[in-house]
Structure 1
Amino acid sequence: MPHDTEARLSATLQGIVGDRPYAPDLDQIESRGRKLRHRRMAWRATAGTGFAAAVAAVAVLTTGTQAPAPNLAAPNSAAASSATAENAPLMNLVGYLTTAPRPEGDATLVLRNQVYTDGLKVAVWDVFADNGDLYFAKTRGALPASVKGKPAGDGDSEAGRKKAVAAAEYAAKGDLNEARKRMALAYVKDPKTAPTLQAPGVKPSGPAIDEKLKATGQDASTVGNLTDNWVWGSSVDALKAGAGSPTVRAGVLRLLGQMPEVKVEQGTIDGQPVLTLAAGALISGGGTDSLTINAETGLPIKYVSESVGVTVNYTVTRVTLADVAAGRF
C-alpha cells in the first residue's frame, strides 16, 4: 500500500551496510499486490506502473491559501520554547500539538497530487481510519465503494505502518531514545537481525566499516547514518498515515528535529507560513529530500525528492467513514 516515497541509499552506504532488512512496500497504484524491490531508502514507493515513485509519507494539509480545518488543530500563537534559533519554530509547534485536542471524525482523507520531472501527473486518494484500516481509490468518485468494501491493507508493510504511527504517538511525550528505536525498527520483521542502531548524526564506524572503506576506496565522509535514514522514512510514513492526529504530528517533528542533518527553514507558500525540513544526501542517499509543513499546524503541504524526481502536494480532510461511504465528503 504505501503511498509513500522510495529513494535509494547511495552506492557508498549500500556497499557498507547493505539494504534495509525488511520486506518492501507494495506498489499501491498499479499493482497493489506486487512487492517493490529491496528498499534502499526508508521512504516507501508509490506511483504509476513501473515506478518506485515517491509519495510523500506525510498525509496532511490543506494547500494554497485555504485555511486548515479547525478540528485538525488551529495554531497556538502563545507557544514558547527554549530551542535553538533554527529549531525554535519547530519546537514551538511541537509544544502546541502535544496539547491539542483530538480532532472530530474517525478517519482522515488524503488527496495526493504527484508531479514527476518527466511530466507524468498522478492523483490518488487514501482514507486512513483511526483504527488503522486503509482504503484507497484512484478517483474521488471511487471512494464510497472502496470504504464500503474491505480495507485495502498494505501487505507485509501494514504492520510496519501501524508500528510507525504508534512510535510517533509515543514520541510526542515519551523518551526520544526509545521512540527513535521504535521508529527505526517499525518495518523490521525480526529486530534480532537488525544492525546496531546509531544516535542521531553519528557516523558509522568500526573495524568492519574501515575495512570495507579501504577495500572499496570510498570516502568515509560520504557515509551516512543508516538509522537516521530509517527514522526519516518511517516518520514520514507515520505522518501520512496519522495525518489527522496532532499527537502523531508532534511525535514525528520531535524525532526529525533530533537529527542534525535535517535542516529547518522558515518561509511562506501562498501567504501561509511554512517550515521546510530538508534531509541531505547523508540521510536520503542521493540529493535533497524535503518536507514542507504549515508552520502553525504541522500539516504537511508538499514533499519534494531530488533523488526520485517528484513533487507531491497534499490535501487532507477529517471525515467519518459513514459520510465517505454515503458520498458526503
Structure 2
Amino acid sequence: MNGQTELEGIKSIRSGVLFEIITALLVGIGIIILLTSGVLTAGLSGSAVGAFSSIVGTLIGLIVLIIIGVVIGIVGLLRIRSGFNILKATRRDVGIGGTGVTLLLVGYILMVIGALLAIVFIGIPILFIGVILAVIGQILLGIGFYRIGEIYNVGLVKVGGILVILSILTDLLGFIGYILIYVGLGRVVSNLPMATPAQMQTYYPPLTPMPQPSTQAVQVSQVGQGVLRGDGYAQFTLYTTAQVTIVSASIEGTNLQATYINPIILQPGNNNIMAYFGNISNLTPGTTYIINLTINAQGNMMNIKVSVVYQP
C-alpha cells in the first residue's frame, strides 16, 4: 500500500469522528429541550390544552433530533470502520478498532430489538446481550484509537482513545475524547506525505520499458551512507546500471514498512531516494539500521541492503 491510501484511512476515521461529535451535540440539545421546553412549559401552562400541545411539540422535536442523530452516528461509525480497515490493509495494527465498531453496531441493533420486545420476556435477554456487545465494542474502539496515537506518536489521540474507553461510565468523557481524537488526527493528516497518482502507479513496472542491458548485467548498489530522521523519513542514494523499480522497503529487525517511496523508478546513474516509515520512536539514536529493498530489475526480483544511521 502507498502513503495516499494510508492518508485516506486517517481522513475517513477523522470524518467519522466528526459525525460522532455532531451526534453527541444533537443528543445534548435534545436533553436540554426535554428538561426546559417540555417539562417546565407543561408544568407552568395555565390550561390542559396548552400543556398537551407543548408536550406534543417537544416530543416531535426530540424524535426528529434523535432520528437525525442516529443516522449521523451510524454513518460516522461506518466511516470509522472503513478507515480502520484501510489502515489494517497498510499493515497497521489497528484492526481491533474496526472490530469494535462492528460490535457496537450489532449491540445497538440488539438493544433496539430488545427494547421493542421488552413487553415480552424474551426482549430482556436480547437487550442485555446488546448492552454487553456495545460495551465491549466501545472498549475495543478506544483501544483502536489509542494504537493510532501510538503508531503516529500523537498524544492527543492516545488520550482520546482512553476517554472513549471510559465513556462506558459517562458519555461526557466520550464526547471529550472524540474532540481530542479529531484534533490529533488533524495533525496526523498534516504530517503524512501526499502521493500523487503518478507516484502511486510507480509501484508497478512500466508497460513499455526502454531497452536495457541484459538482466544479468544490472547492478544496484548504495552510494555513501544513508540517514534516518526522527520524522520517519530515510534518505539514501542508489547507483544502478539500468532502469529498475523499487517494489518495497522495510527496516531489518523491525516490523516497519515504507508507506511512501520517491522515486520508485530509478534511472541509470545515481538516484537520491526518500522513504517514509512512520513512527520510529522505538529505534535507538545513533544506531546504524539496515533497510531491505526489493527491486524489480526487468522482471527479476533483487534484494538490496541499504545502511542508514538514525539521527533524530
Fold agreement, TM-score > 0.5:
no
TM-score (normalised: structure 2): 0.28
TM-score (normalised: structure 1): 0.27
Larger Rg over CA atoms: 2
* Higher RCO structure, 1 or 2 (CA under 8 Å, sep 6+): 1
Structure (1 or 2) with the greater helix fraction? 2
